[in-house]
Amino acid sequence: MNLSLFSQSLFTLSLKQAIEATAQIGFPAIELACTAPHFDLDMAIQQPQKIARQIQRT
């Protein structure tokens, strides 16, 4: 079992910064809050490949 950090606790950071901070403190995964600034659900529905590329780049 892996523990993850919920990104809502990091809303003051960009998605890239939140992912980096999560890794730096030792979490192997991050659970994205389905709201801006970390994960725009409407955009994900309309442009899933764009969102996937953004996450992969980060």
pLDDT of residue 36: 79
SS3 30: strand
pTM over 0.85: no
On whether the CB atoms of residues 37 and 11 are closer than 8 A, the answer is yes
pLDDT in tens, 1-58: 888 999 899 989 988 899 889 999 999 988 988 887 777 788 788 888 887 887 777 6
pLDDT of residue 58: 67
**Distance between CA atoms of residues 3 and 1, nearest Å:** 7
pLDDT of residue 24: 94
pLDDT of residue 12: 92
